[in-house]
A and B are shown apart, each in its own frame.
Chain A
Amino acid sequence: MANLGTFLLLASFVLCAYAAVASVVGARRGSRRLIESGIGGLYLVAALMAVATVVIINAFLTDDFSIRYVAQESETLQPFWYKITAYWGGLNGSIMFWVFLLSVFGSIAVFVNRERHRELIPYVVATISTVEAFFLYLMVVHKNPFSTYLTAAPMDGTGLNPLLQNYWMAIHPPSLYTGFVGMTIPFAFGLAALITGNLDDSWLRAVRRWTMFAWLFLSFGLMLGMIWAYEVLAWGGYWGWDPVENAAVLPWFTATAFLHSVMVQERRSMLRVWNVTLVIVTFFLTIFGTFMTRSGVVQSVHAFGDDPILAKLFTGFMVAILTFSFGLVIYRLPLLKARNELDSWMSREAAFLLNNWILLFSAMFVLFGTMFPTLSEAVTGERLTVAGPFFNKWMTPVGLILLMLTGIGPLLAWRRSTTKNLVEQFLWPVVTGLAAGTVAMLFKIPLWSAGLCFALCGFVVGTIGQEFWRGTVIRRKNTGTDFLTALVGLVGRNKRRYGGYIVHVGIVLIFFGFAGNARKLDEQAHLKVGQDVKIGKYTIRNNGVKVSDDGQKQMTTAYLSVFVNGEQIDGLYPARWAYRHHEQEPTTEVAMRRTPAEDLYAVLGGFDLADQSATLQLVVNPLVNWIWFGFGVLALGTGIALLPERALAFAVAKMPAEAATTTVALLLIVLIGGARPASAQQGMGGTEDTRASFYARTPFEKQMQHEIVCTCGACGHQNLAECRKDNCSTSHQMRGELAAMIDQGKNHDEIIQAFMAKYGGEEMLGAPIDKGFNRLAWLIPYLVGAVSAVAVGFAAVKWTRKIEPQAANAATVDAALDERIDDELRDLD
């Protein structure tokens, strides 16, 4: 199989080279056949890479340790899922995964655009093929994932590190790669536009969606990395300005800038050089980030080992990208001349320009800080580094300015705003901003920087609310429908704009969460049994440390009670797990009490079984969950902006008013239904495998485990002895509490009383309630969610179809309507 894999990579490399050459020659000679064969080559590479992917995944699943890479990243006992994710777990495989994604994305982009952008396609194919060829070359000569052992193959692999065998870590890299690789498509189109000189705005239309799509995955990947750091690395934070994190955030800055400046070009035909530059820089930064984290150029505790050969190859490639791309930009400068000039600084394009500069500055600054050790060594011979505080000092004001611009931009008119406009537009947002600031003051939050951040959050929310409100009111007046229909219609008519506003709401929520850092508390304590420590409003008591063993690992768990105002509100069970064969590297299992207001975060740093004392790190992280929620809203907004033109068309065209209202109601149900599993997931942090937790030690404990029902809601109301199938941390926790109570010598009734007091009513009692209808009750949210999803789908399809016959009619009506709305919105859009 290894030979087949190597052959596939070689064949792909040759094909890429052919596709690149054939496309360019075909375009220059005007040979349709050559161009088509180039396109065919690109598709074929995607097919070959798909087969190669199947081959390597198959090798992982069949434990083919004759392949070096498989032996390094997997072992026989590795769970099925982690055998698959091991594909992109190591350097060689990640490069292959990269090429695979690029070949698929490239083929889709070419397939979709091959008629519309006929003149660009040959060069798009050539660019994509060249990038693919580079990565394939890396694999063929240096990093072949299919290379085998010359000597006898090992009996078993070394396996993935336990810390990386984690749900978040499994989905974080593919998401990030999708974002990174997706940025190649805009670059390819940009380059094609430069080469052919077709520098009107048509190439922008082809890549707008791709950039949004890639940006969404990049954002998502960043968030997953943050969650992983927060829940698994157990240091109480989520972002540390580490080179690896920085590498991922660099292209995010420039891509965000591009998504904004592209609007200026569409509307005012300005910033054309700028846009091309941003696309090139974004692509360059994705390659640079890959280079930085894999070649050992940057010294970091996360650096992936030195590899001078890889560093040289990458450096050559990056120099080639920069020279070629910017050479083309300079060559095409006459064609890239802007058709308009900035009329006034009080205009939306000026706000966008400022936003772009700041985002580009952020990227350059982070790049500078990340490369500072290398730079300082080159210049002074002394290796100096900068750490988190330095980044924070600079990025806090930069972030706040960006947040402010998020609120200001939409309030300014294109071209120029009059003073009257400004007063009318800014009044309410400023009021909400001041109100939010005042509330922050009342909570004694320092003005710099959290207080200001809260005020700006209020300001931006005011702006967005006003935009939605005014748009809906006008649309309602014009169409005479109810409010909800008007709102849906408004969003449907201009998905990009209003989707963008929803993204802004997500950004506000993320900043809101960041601002919580101002009140972060961090405490380290050594507690003997029965001792207390106070952190914030909480008092934490150590009830003892116990060891249990499930055959796979030894678990040392600290039993902590959490008190507020003298009343026990919760228990926390931070643990350290020592896996078999990895006894020397125990994993830390964080225990968290999550609330919207703050997380209480407990880490078991050390313990002494002799006196059951525990060394704890306790952190109170205010508002941190709003960051994850904000990312969800951001994804929703991007999704709306990405919807195809015809989606939501039913709400835009003439139709019964009630229909839209119903749709919205149904959509809400779906969203709430969808939110349920998400919130259930949140409780799972820290506990990985609870199948084997707390087996009953005595018949009494066994009896109790059967009497008490797990309240997590995910297991269909099983009792504590049964609920072990999934990652149910609730049952794990409840079993732990039960064990603790039994250890305290409580009897049957006392335990039942305690559980009823804590989990409320009889819900958790097995016998009376766990029957027929009640089981159904657990299912209802999911059923409703599924049914409404189907209903909405049907409705959408039906209404969308209905419009077809009267499309012409609807279009004329719409055009007139559009005109009016546009007038009334004061040429906002």
Chain B
Amino acid sequence: MAHRNIKIAVTAVVLASAFGFMMWTTLRDGAEYFKHVDEVVAQRSSLEGKKIQMHGYVIPGSRLTKPNTLEWRFKVQNNPIRSGEPGQVMSVSYTGIVPDTFKDEAEVVLKGELTKDGGFHTDPNGVIAKCPSKYEAAAGGAPSGS
């Protein structure tokens, strides 16, 4: 019986450590920092070169696209403009097709990294605009959580 228990214990330890190691390595590659615009601006130096998901709101009227190309330039800020305290602003570049929900004041998550010139470069297909949720009241911009 003791022999059997040892066998089970050894197997469990080997499996657990192999699993843990794989998890650790894949997580190191796969994990991305999730930051709001304010945090990205504040921690700029430490975040450079890292994969980031940046959360913010599109500044109305800031979306520009170069005619006959897929290039986009726009600005995001930490809070929606109607909140009164918009917070920090970040310029963003992106090349590709944007989703329907990407519009002025849209809540977006951008996947990409910081550029040398202080902006943010978004990966291909890295623009995720907030899914219009059925579970939220959008009545005239009234706060949700009814």
Q: Distance (Å) between the CB of B17 and the closest chain A CB?
A: 16
Contacts of B125 in A (CB 8 A): 235
Quote the shortest CB–CB distance from B26 to chain A (angstroms).
Answer: 6
The residue from A90, A389, A605 contacting B70, defined by CB atoms under 8 A apart: A605
Of the listed stretches B73-81, B82-90, B91-99, chain A binds B91-99
Task: Determine the distance from Cα of A522 to Cα of B144 in the docked complex, in whole angstroms.
Answer: 37
Q: Is the CB of B144 within 8 A of A305?
A: yes
* A524 close to B128 (CB less than 8 A): no
Judge whether A294 and B135 touch: CB under 8 Å: yes
A72 contacts across to B, CB distance below 8 A: 137, 139, 146
CA distance A235 to B96 in the complex (A): 12
**24 pairs, CB–CB < 8 Å, chain A vs chain B:** A68-B146, A72-B139, A73-B134, A234-B99, A293-B135, A301-B108, A304-B136, A305-B135, A305-B145, A376-B31, A382-B33, A384-B31, A384-B34, A386-B30, A386-B32, A387-B32, A387-B111, A389-B30, A390-B31, A524-B70, A584-B104, A585-B100, A603-B97, A608-B67
> A517 in the interface, Cβ–Cβ < 8 Å?
no
Judging by beta carbons under 8 Å apart, are A301 and B107 in contact? yes
Decide if A182 is an interface residue (CB 8 Å cutoff).
Answer: no
**CA gap between A383 and B40 in the complex, in Å:** 12
| Interface hit among A112-120, A155-163, A780-788 | A155-163
CB contacts (< 8 Å) of B100 on chain A: these are: 163, 234, 585-588
Interface: B138 (CB within 8 A):
yes
The residue from A164, A293, A603, A606 contacting B65, defined by CB atoms under 8 A apart: A606
| B130 at interface by CB-CB < 8 Å | yes
Give per-residue flags for A91-105: 1 if the beta carbon is below 8 A from chain B beta carbons, else 0. 110100000000000
Q: Which A-B residue pairs are the 5 nearest by beta carbons? A: A390-B30, A605-B97, A304-B135, A383-B34, A161-B132
Of the candidates B33, B97, B138, B146, the one whose C-beta lies within 8 Å of that of A606 is B97
Known contacts A163-B100, A304-B135, A526-B69: A393-B26 contact under CB 8 Å: yes
List residues of chain A with CB within 8 A of the CB of B55. Answer: 299
Q: Which residues of A contact B107 (CB under 8 A)?
A: 301
Enumerate chain A residues within 8 angstroms of B31, measured Cβ to Cβ. 372, 376, 384-386, 390
Q: Which residues of A contact B140 (CB under 8 A)?
A: 158
* 0 or 1 for each of A300-324: is its CB under 8 Å from B? (1 = yes): 0111111100000000000000000
* Interface pair B133/A526, CB less than 8 Å apart: no
- Taking a contact as CB atoms under 8 Å apart, the answer to whether B139 and A158 are in contact is yes
Given contacts A528-B68, A587-B100, contact A305 B33 (CB under 8 A): no
CA distance A611 to B137 in the complex (A): 40
Contacts of A588 in B (CB 8 A): 100
List chain A residues, Cβ under 8 A from B59.
none
With A383-B34, A384-B31, A588-B100 as contacts: A526 and B135 at CB distance below 8 Å: no
B42 at the interface (CB under 8 A from A): no
Residues of A within 8 A of B (CB): 68, 71-73, 89-92, 94, 158, 160-161, 163-164, 233-235, 293-294, 299, 301-307, 372-373, 376, 382-387, 389-390, 393-394, 524, 526, 528, 584-588, 603, 605-606, 608, 611, 613, 615, 617
When A72-B139, A72-B146 are in contact, do A301 and B98 touch as well, CB less than 8 Å? Answer: no
Q: Are B132 and A164 in contact (CB under 8 A)?
A: yes
- Of chain B, the residue at the smallest CB distance from A296 is B145
Interface pair A89/B131, CB less than 8 Å apart? no
Indicate if the CB atoms of A161 and B68 lie closer than 8 Å: no
Known: A235-B99, A305-B145. A393 touches B139 (CB 8 A): no
Q: Which residue of A lies closest to B134 (CB)?
A: A89
Tell me the bound Cα distance from A294 to B109 in angstroms.
19
The chain B residue with its CB closest to the CB of A147 is: B146
Q: Is B11 an interface residue (CB 8 A)?
A: no
- Cβ–Cβ contact A306 & B132, under 8 A: no
CB pair A526–B131 under 8 Å, yes or no, is: no
Classify the interface of chain A: helix, strand, loop or mixed: mixed
Min distance, Cβ A571 to any Cβ of chain B, angstroms: 21
Given contacts A90-B135, A234-B100, contact A307 B70 (CB under 8 A): no
Contact assessment for A393 and B101 in the assembled complex, using a CB-CB cutoff below 8 Å: no
Q: How far is the CB of A236 from chain B (nearest CB, A)?
A: 9
Q: Determine whether the beta carbon of A524 is less than 8 Å from that of B96.
A: yes
Closest to A160 in B: B134
B130 x A301 contact (CB < 8 A) = yes
Name B133's closest neighbour in chain A (CB-CB).
A304
Is A164 a contact of B134 with CB atoms below 8 Å? yes
Could you list 19 further interchain pairs (A-B, Cβ under 8 angstroms) beyond the known A234-B99, A235-B125, A524-B96? Answer: A73-B134, A158-B140, A160-B134, A161-B134, A161-B138, A233-B99, A234-B100, A299-B34, A304-B133, A372-B31, A383-B35, A385-B31, A386-B30, A387-B111, A390-B26, A390-B27, A588-B100, A606-B70, A613-B68
Asked whether A385 lies within 8 Å of B34 as measured between CB atoms, the reply is yes
Q: Of all chain A residues, which has the CB nearest B72?
A: A606
Shortest CB-to-CB span from A681 to chain B, Å, is 24
- Complex Cα gap A160–B132 (Å): 10
Q: Please, what's the 1-or-0 string for B4-40, where 1 marks a CB less than 8 Å from any CB in chain A?
A: 0000000000000000000000110111111100000
In the assembled complex, which residues on chain B have CB atoms less than 8 Å from the CB atom of A160?
Answer: 134
A294 to B133 Cα, complex, angstroms: 11
Contact A615 B70 (CB under 8 A): yes
**Closest Cβ–Cβ distance, residue A528 to chain B (whole Å):** 7
In the assembled complex, which residues on chain A have CB atoms less than 8 Å from the CB atom of B68? 526, 528, 608, 611, 613
Evaluate whether A384 and B33 lie within 8 angstroms (CB atoms) in the complex, with A72-B139, A585-B103, A608-B67 already known: yes
User: Inside 8 A of B58's CB, which chain A residues have their CB?
Assistant: none
Distance (Å) between the CB of A292 and the closest chain B CB? Answer: 12
**Complex Cα–Cα for A528 and B70 (A):** 13
Query: Pick the contact of A302 from B30, B104, B133 — CB < 8 Å?
Result: B133
Measured between alpha carbons, how far is A25 from B140 in the docked complex, in Å?
Answer: 51
Flag whether B122 is at the interface (Cβ < 8 A).
no
Q: Is the CB of A387 within 8 A of B30?
A: yes
CB closest chain-B residue, reference A309: B145
* Inter-subunit contact A584/B97 (CB<8 Å): no
How far apart are A128's CB and chain B's nearest CB, in angstroms?
25
Task: Tell me which residues across on chain A come within 8 A of B26, comparing CB atoms.
Answer: 390, 393-394
Q: Are A384 and B32 in contact (CB under 8 A)?
A: yes
Q: Are B34 and A301 in contact (CB under 8 A)?
A: no
Least CB separation from A372: chain B residue = B31
Residues of A within 8 A of B53 (CB): 385, 387
B30: min CB distance to chain A, Å: 3
Query: How far is B134's CA from A158's CA once the two chains are assembled, in angstroms?
Result: 12
With a cutoff of 8 Å between Cβ atoms, the chain B residues found around residue A585 in the complex are: 100-101, 103
Across the interface, which residues of B come within 8 angstroms of A383, CB to CB? 33-35
Minimal beta-carbon separation of B11 from chain A (angstroms):
12
CA of A419 to CA of B129, assembled, Å: 58
Residues of B within 8 A of A617 (CB): 97
Query: Could you tell me the distance in whole angstroms from the C-beta of B94 to the nearest C-beta in chain A?
Result: 12
CB-based nearest B residue for A232: B100
Chain A residues within an 8 Å CB radius of B136: 304-305
Question: What is the CB-to-nearest-CB distance from A609 to chain B, in angstroms, rounded to a whole number?
Answer: 12
Task: Say whether A393 contacts B97, CB under 8 Å.
Answer: no
Contact A373 B34 (CB under 8 A): yes
Question: Whole-angstrom distance between the alpha carbons of A383 and B96 in the complex?
Answer: 27
Distance, CA A372 to CA B125, complexed state (A): 22
Chain A residues within an 8 Å CB radius of B33:
382-385
Contacts of A603 in B (CB 8 A): 97
The complex places the Cα of A586 from the Cα of B101 at a distance, in Å, of 9
Q: Compute how far the CA of A71 lies from the CA of B146 in the bound complex, rounded to whole angstroms.
A: 12
**Which of B27, B53, B97, B129 has most A Cβ within 10 Å?**
B97
Give Cα A615–Cα B43 distance, bound, in whole angstroms: 36
**Nearest-neighbor residue (CB-CB) of B125 within chain A:** A235
Chain B residues positioned under 8 Å from A393 (CB to CB)? 26, 30
